[in-house]
Amino acid sequence: MTPSTRHVVIVGGGFAGLNAAKVLGNKAGIRVTLVDRHNHHLFQPLLYQVAMAALSPADIAAPIRHILAKYDNITVLQDEVTSIDYGERQIVARQCALSYDYLLLACGARHAYFGHNEWEECAPGLKTIEQATEIRRRVLTAFEAAERTTNAAEQRRQLTFVIVGGGPTGVELAGAIGEMSRYTLVRDFRRISPKLARIILVEAGPRILPAFSTKMAGEATRNLEHLGVQVWTGSPVTGLDRQGVTIGRERLQAATILWAAGVQAESLGGQEGVATDRLGRIVVKPDLSLAGHQEVFVAGDQACFSHGGKPPLPGLAPVAIQQGRAIAANILREAAGASRRPFHYNDKGQLAAIGRSKAIVERGRLRFGGFFAWLTWLMVHIYYLVGFENRMAVIMRWAWSFFNCKRGARLIVSKEWRFYPSRNTKEREEP
């Protein structure tokens, strides 16, 4: 390596970080270290399918170091970054510290409870494999508990599922639970009819899917209702506990509550003096760099970027992918003595799936729903999924479940692995 080698540190192996790393991979004069607290890249658009027992975690995740193995100039470290010293150009993680010439922050977003973090225990959100597995455990356990109990009120509570938040994630979760109760589980129980499950999608705003057109949001609502989902708009959640939710003055007894109502950007220590928007996203310049620190870039869900005057770009995979690539291209340009170019987003449109064979698609003036929209959704997701093996596995599982309504991953996995609880460990959890 020459003395003029530039060290690029990338924090986060999501869509933005991974795509930036690939552009920088095996380029002369560049050395990359990618740090992520997980060992895997996660294809978040399909995470709800893991939560709904249709896919296994490994189907939509791959080890970051394996994806980048062919690039000799990239080192991958599993570690959690705790702070950044912009002046010293150094990041500090739990187990190591790294100096950088360029820094790319691509830490993504987490779900947010807007001042009610204690709600998380009762209403998990969906951002990580661990959370998807927890949601799967809760949904499947509710059906098991309903089958076991002889108390009618408790059975009704166990069979009530509330999804808070009418964005794409909430719609996809509600559709999948509807699908599961109407089709997948229908023959498997003796004492209950899974069809009687009440699935309620609760949205504070006047309608679901505000990022879509009114027409397509209406079509999504009809599709959801067809799967037995009740859509309650204008219904802000004011209280939430283990027994159920409070919506305005109304009380709903529900054993399973899922949170899809909001996100906030991940934040790292050392962000004092950095401008952020109300979702905690770092406001960036037209080249996605930080004001005052042109060697620091921010991309993906962590960045607040807007084309002059327009609203900021949403937290979508295509935005993150394009931003990651654009930043890497600018680093290469600068290394070659050329000047940076501003980022321009090429709008790919947006999609949402509803159940097993319906979806809605919008791209500019092109708007359609139903089965062909679902096929489009299917092909787009398989195309973007990382890794040939994952693609094959997902195609096979989908084909299988499309024709017989089955779900291949209906496992309730406990959080505790020990047989012999010792002094230091909690009692094994009740099933």
The interface with its own copies within residues 237-276 (CB under 8 A) comprises none
Q: Which of 258, 238, 244 is nearest to 153 (CA)?
A: 244
Q: Which amino acid is at 303?
A: A
Q: Which of residues 57-76 bind its own copies (CB under 8 A)?
A: 57-59, 61-63, 65-66, 69-70, 72, 74-76
In the bound state with its own copies, the residue whose beta carbon lies nearer, of 307 and 415, is: 415
Q: CB neighbours (10 Å) of residue 379?
A: 10
Smallest distance from its own copies to CB 69, Å: 5
Number of residues that bind its own copies (CB under 8 A): 80
Q: 6 vs 407, which CB is nearer to its own copies?
A: 407
Q: How far is CA 368 from the centre of its chain?
A: 24
CB of 102 to its own copies, least distance (A): 19
The smaller minimum CB distance to its own copies, of residues 216 and 268, is found at: 268
In angstroms, give the least distance from the CB of 119 to its own copies: 9
User: CB of residue 224 vs its own copies: minimum separation in angstroms?
Assistant: 25
- Among residues 139, 142, 169, 170, which one has the least CA distance to residue 157? 142
Q: Check if the beta carbon of residue 252 is closer than 8 Å to that of residue 207.
A: no
Please pick, among 172, 179, 203, 362, the residue that the annotation labels catalytic: 172
- 162 Cβ neighbours under 8 A, 6+ residues apart: 200, 202, 244, 245, 252, 254, 256, 257, 258
Is 90 one of the binding residues for its own copies (CB under 8 A)?
A: no
Written as one string, the DSSP assignment of 40-85 is EEE-GGGHHHHHTTSS-GGGGEEEHHHHTTT-TTEEEEE--EEEEE
User: Segment near its own copies (CB under 8 A), from 166-174, 227-235, 273-281, 417-425?
Assistant: 417-425
Active site residue 172: yes
Which range touches its own copies (CB under 8 A), out of 182-190, 284-292, 302-310, 332-340?
Answer: 182-190
Stretch that binds its own copies, among 91-99, 160-168, 327-335, 362-370 (CB under 8 A): 91-99
- String of contacts with its own copies for each residue 120-159, x by CB under 8 A: xx--xx-xxxxx-xx-----xx--xx-xxx----------
Of 79, 203, 219, 301, the residue at the interface with its own copies (CB under 8 A) is 79
Tell me whether residue 275 or residue 395 sits nearer to its own copies (CB atom).
395
Interface positions, 183-212, toward its own copies (CB under 8 A):
187-191
CA distance 428 to 430: 6
Amino acid type, 239:
G
Amino acid sitting at position 275: A
Q: Which of residues 377-416 bind its own copies (CB under 8 A)?
A: 389-390, 392-393, 396-397, 400, 406, 408-416
431 near its own copies, judged by CB under 8 A: yes
Q: Out of 111, 157, 325, 340, name the contact with its own copies by CB under 8 A.
A: 111
CA angle 358, 359, 363 (to 5 degrees): 150
Distance, CA of 374 to chain centre: 20
Q: Which of 5, 78, 90, 350 binds its own copies (CB under 8 A)?
A: 78
**Amino acid making up residue 291:** A
Q: Specify the residue, 51 or 201, whose C-beta has the smaller distance to its own copies.
A: 51
The 3 state secondary structure assigned to 196-261 is HCEEEEECCCCCCCCCCCHHHHHHHHHHHHHCCEEEECCCCEEEEECCEEEECCEEEECCEEEECC
What Å distances lie between residue 344 and 287, 312, 313, 318, 325, CA to CA? Answer: 9, 12, 11, 12, 11
Q: Does 310 bind its own copies (CB under 8 A)?
A: no
Backbone dihedral angles phi then psi of residue 330, each to the nearest 5 degrees: -65, -35
User: Contact between 117 and its own copies (CB under 8 A)?
Assistant: yes
Q: Which of residues 19-58 bind its own copies (CB under 8 A)?
A: 37-40, 56-58
Q: Which residues are catalytic?
A: 172
